[in-house]
Chain A
Amino acid sequence: MSGLAVSELAVSHGAIVALRGISFSVQVGQLAAVIGSNGAGKTTLLRALSGLNKASSGSAQWNEREILGARPDALVRSGISHVSEGKSVIPELSVRENLVLGGIWRGDKSDTNAAIAEVVELFPILGQRMSQSADTLSGGERQMLAIGRALVSRPKLMLLDEPSLGLAPIVIEQIFATIDQLRRKLGLTVVLVEQNAMSALEIADIGVIINLGEVVASGTASELIDDPALRAAYLGY
């Protein structure tokens, strides 16, 4: 099937098993929300998918090609962009340099500039900050820059790790609206890892709930939202 298919994925950190038996699939153009509390293994899952962590067993295929075991930079070349946890920008570089970075691998300067212009259209505030160092940005602006950098790589699959972390509610709302808008406009497939269950499921097609390294429930986002037992146990409202 085209899209992302994760099957029986397991990851260990030394003797500690962080993830086991993780299976789910996301069709092209869908947004999957991976929900779970702190330490559930959400970040580990994304890091395994983008090549930052080694999986100990299982498989993950993107458009029928195995992605486990590939280097992160190679995955970027096959259209997978990972925006890691904690506003992953490089504070020592300027806003423009952070954006340009996402396009270097394609070696096409004019296309990188076009992609940057699209990002600025999406996040106008970044356009005003181009020559500032990324260090001077607010938390929300940094998250926009991190997503913007990933977009400059022109991804087909975007892995987003807790974009809401440490942001004010109103900014979170903006970021989620943008993510929703993005995938509709660009046809992006998105795996969104979140603690903020409700906001994530509201824009998601499907949801995967992880607890202690295992999938405890999955289904369409509306099914999960409507399940009273899940709401009480994992979604916290």
Chain B
Amino acid sequence: MQKLLETLLIGVSTGSIYALMSLALVLVWRSTRVVNFAQAGQAMLSTYFGYEIASRSEIFWLGLAAAIIAGALVGAGVDFFFMRVLFKRAISGPAAVVAPVIATLGLLGLIRSIVGLTWGGEFKSIQAPASKDGLTIGQTTIPFSALNILIIATVSLILITLAIIFQRTNLGLSLRASAYAPEIAQLAGIRTARTRTIGWAIAGGVGAVAGMLVTSYNFLSPYSLDLLLVFGFIAAVIGGLESMVGSVIGALVLGIGLTFILNYVGTSLVFIGGFVVLIVVLLVKPDGIMARGKARRA
């Protein structure tokens, strides 16, 4: 019973970080129809900025704020200088579908190289904002730490903030309208290109938080967020790629599922487990768990 509870708690903590990456991917996919593989690179670059500030100031939260700002700027920059130009040239046909995805892969490599040249390949670590030691309840110590609680709280706060922005503000309405029907949004007077860039900025900021939280747990290197991208992507697919709520649920399901495999089956099967889940979802419910009767028109 105790092991089950631990597994659930750790699963939620892990899943909540996946949720941020998955949300970042969904935000970009909805507005731009691009699976942004560079999101891992953007998050990693932003986390390096966060690392610089956090290690100099010795305040994690200052580093987190810096990472969010850097993430938002990088995200907006990628859309403004990269995607807009790309979509001007590749308007229709296979080029328009494939080119942006390949471009994001290229961008991921580019960012990695720039980070490697600037910071080197060695592992960096950021002082965690809370203890990683397991909590002691009565006589027993469980592997769930104060840091885990802080991670869940931080992610919850961000999700609530995003929900308010998207559901209650004009900016959120513009973002949703531009994603669902860009032409109608434009005819209603919305500056859709600018709105899309704001969407990329939000995704960049959210991805940066994921990067900082993972790093507070582990370490930072030019490759350290690759697994986060993979699991974030799987979570997004579980959620159907379209739905923000779905992406969060998908991430929690994945986080809990993988922690179960880790605790009950074996470490070596965790990575494979992620892909098995991906394949099963694609075979059984290709539109994701949130899909109703019909898939939304693209």
Work out how many contacts link A and B, with CB atoms closer than 8 A: 70
Query: Which of chain A's residues have a CB closer than 8 A to the CB of B85?
Result: none
> Does B188 contact A84, Cβ atoms closer than 8 Å?
no
Provide the bound-state CA to CA distance between A153 and B186, in Å.
12
Provide the bound-state CA to CA distance between A149 and B190, in Å.
13
Say if the beta carbon of A122 comes within 8 Å of chain B. no
Of all chain A residues, the one with the shortest Cβ separation from B185 is A101
> Does A73 contact B184, Cβ atoms closer than 8 Å?
no
Of A91, A107, A153, which one neighbours B188 at CB under 8 angstroms?
A153
Interface of B is mostly: helix
How far, in Å, is A130 (CB) from chain B's closest CB?
14
User: Residues 76-119 of chain A: 1 if any B CB is under 8 Å from the residue's CB, otherwise 0?
Assistant: 11000111100011111100010011101111000000000000
Query: Which of chain B's residues have a CB closer than 8 A to the CB of A172?
Result: none
> Does B180 contact A90, Cβ atoms closer than 8 Å?
yes
Of B174, B176, B177, B186, which one neighbours A71 at CB under 8 angstroms?
B186
Of B181, B183, B189, which one neighbours A52 at CB under 8 angstroms?
B183
Query: Which of chain B's residues have a CB closer than 8 A to the CB of A84?
Result: 183-184, 187
Say if the beta carbon of B2 comes within 8 Å of chain A. no
Known contacts A73-B192, A92-B180, A93-B180; A82 and B187 CB within 8 A of each other: yes
> Does B186 contact A72, Cβ atoms closer than 8 Å?
yes
Query: Which of chain A's residues have a CB closer than 8 A to the CB of B183?
Result: 52, 72, 84, 88
How far, in Å, is B87 (CB) from chain A's closest CB?
15
Query: Which of chain A's residues have a CB closer than 8 A to the CB of B170?
Result: 100, 104, 107
How far, in Å, is A131 (CB) from chain B's closest CB?
13
Query: Which of chain A's residues have a CB closer than 8 A to the CB of B173?
Result: 93, 97, 100-101, 104
Query: Which of chain A's residues have a CB closer than 8 A to the CB of B184?
Result: 84, 88-90
Interface size on B, residues (CB 8 A): 18
Say if the beta carbon of B88 comes within 8 Å of chain A. no
Query: Which of chain B's residues have a CB closer than 8 A to the CB of A101?
Result: 173-174, 177, 185, 188, 190
> Does A90 contact B181, Cβ atoms closer than 8 Å?
yes
Of all chain A residues, the one with the shortest Cβ separation from B184 is A88
Of all chain B residues, the one with the shortest Cβ separation from A82 is B187
Query: Which of chain B's residues have a CB closer than 8 A to the CB of A43?
Result: none
User: Residues 189-218 of chain B: 1 if any A CB is under 8 Å from the residue's CB, otherwise 0?
Assistant: 111100000000000000000000000000
> Does B177 contact A93, Cβ atoms closer than 8 Å?
yes
Provide the bound-state CA to CA distance between A153 and B187, in Å.
10
Of A82, A83, A92, A100, which one neighbours B296 at CB under 8 angstroms?
A92
Query: Which of chain B's residues have a CB closer than 8 A to the CB of A88?
Result: 181, 183-184, 187
Provide the bound-state CA to CA distance between A56 and B237, in Å.
43
> Does B187 contact A72, Cβ atoms closer than 8 Å?
yes
> Does A104 contact B188, Cβ atoms closer than 8 Å?
yes
Say if the beta carbon of A189 comes within 8 Å of chain B. no
How far, in Å, is B95 (CB) from chain A's closest CB?
16
Of A73, A97, A106, which one neighbours B191 at CB under 8 angstroms?
A73
Query: Which of chain B's residues have a CB closer than 8 A to the CB of A30?
Result: none
How far, in Å, is B266 (CB) from chain A's closest CB?
43
Provide the bound-state CA to CA distance between A225 and B191, in Å.
41
Provide the bound-state CA to CA distance between A83 and B187, in Å.
8
Query: Which of chain B's residues have a CB closer than 8 A to the CB of A89?
Result: 184
Query: Which of chain A's residues have a CB closer than 8 A to the CB of B181?
Result: 88, 90
Known contacts A90-B180, A92-B176; A105 and B190 CB within 8 A of each other: yes
Of A92, A93, A97, A105, which one neighbours B189 at CB under 8 angstroms?
A105
Query: What is the interface of chain B, defined by CB distance below 8 A to chain A?
Result: 170, 173-174, 176-177, 180-181, 183-192, 296
23 A-B contacts (beta carbon < 8 Å): A50-B187, A73-B189, A73-B190, A73-B191, A83-B187, A84-B183, A84-B184, A90-B177, A90-B180, A90-B181, A93-B173, A93-B176, A93-B177, A93-B180, A97-B173, A101-B174, A101-B185, A101-B188, A104-B170, A105-B190, A149-B188, A150-B187, A153-B189
10 nearest A-B residue pairs (beta carbon): A105-B189, A76-B189, A72-B186, A101-B188, A90-B181, A92-B180, A104-B170, A102-B188, A88-B184, A82-B187
